[in-house]
Structure 1
């Protein structure tokens, strides 16, 4: 199965080069590729953005199901900004449609670290993640990192690096007191000269 995905990735990579990137005839191949990503727990941001760009240029071809899969796959890649990139490429009228609106709400809950509300809302809308292999595990990884960061006051910079605040306050120095009398040191100093 992995070789099938790799072959498909190579095929899609060729489609996304040059002017063919905006050819609506390639849309069915790209949509199948999105479905493959969902089933096989893989991810290709460039291909997904290509699909959304084709939907922008060809609104008649818009598929709510495929767009939902793209958004859910972008959520599995948090804390990266993929979800925001994808969200910005979807027309406002389509953002109001039922599954997309709910996914955007879930994304907002995750990005604002309202994890309990996220899990409760996800439980009420389990049908949204049907067919998205590994969704919950990916979100758990993200939430665990965020919980640790909040607990210890860590922050993430623009490069995705985590900065640990007040490291010097968390390190407790130890004072080691040794009692050495002059006679024991003088014999060592006499032999070293």
Structure 2
């Protein structure tokens, strides 16, 4: 098998063993920049133990990470990647359980902090009882205002009702509906809802 770095990808080809040659070799299926499953072999997704070979300035060299390269071409997930994915899944599951134990006021405070770290500034008082929104936000960079409704639990019917009410106000560019324990399954949005010039997020 022959392989090389081209632009930001790894490209490889499998020579036809029945047609040997010194300068030209026939290949099976031609050059490919994906693994056998069709996943692109992007350099930024590969280990540096392989990509460091790109600094070699001659034509052909030995590859110490040969086994790693073959696993990636054959679409075999690295053991450490599988372990990391399992750990991430477990972390997300525990995080969801922890969120569901929060008091509604603490959950609202957490949502406020997350938006603040994302560049949204709260322009309303945190907490208290409001008819339509829990948080009013503005983003100076994109010059937009957003409404945030925070619910510990909500159904699709509740979500639909808020969409209709927010659409009628025409006061905000975006609407965020935050809920950590939804009831039932949320129906997919078949149409894009907008307030002024911004999309709705939920």
Structure-2-length-normalised TM-score: 0.20
Using the size of structure 1 for normalisation, the TM-score is: 0.21
Give the structure with the higher percent helix. Answer: 1
The structure with higher relative contact order (CA 8 Å, sep 6+) is 1
Looking at secondary structure, tell me which structure has more strand per residue: 2
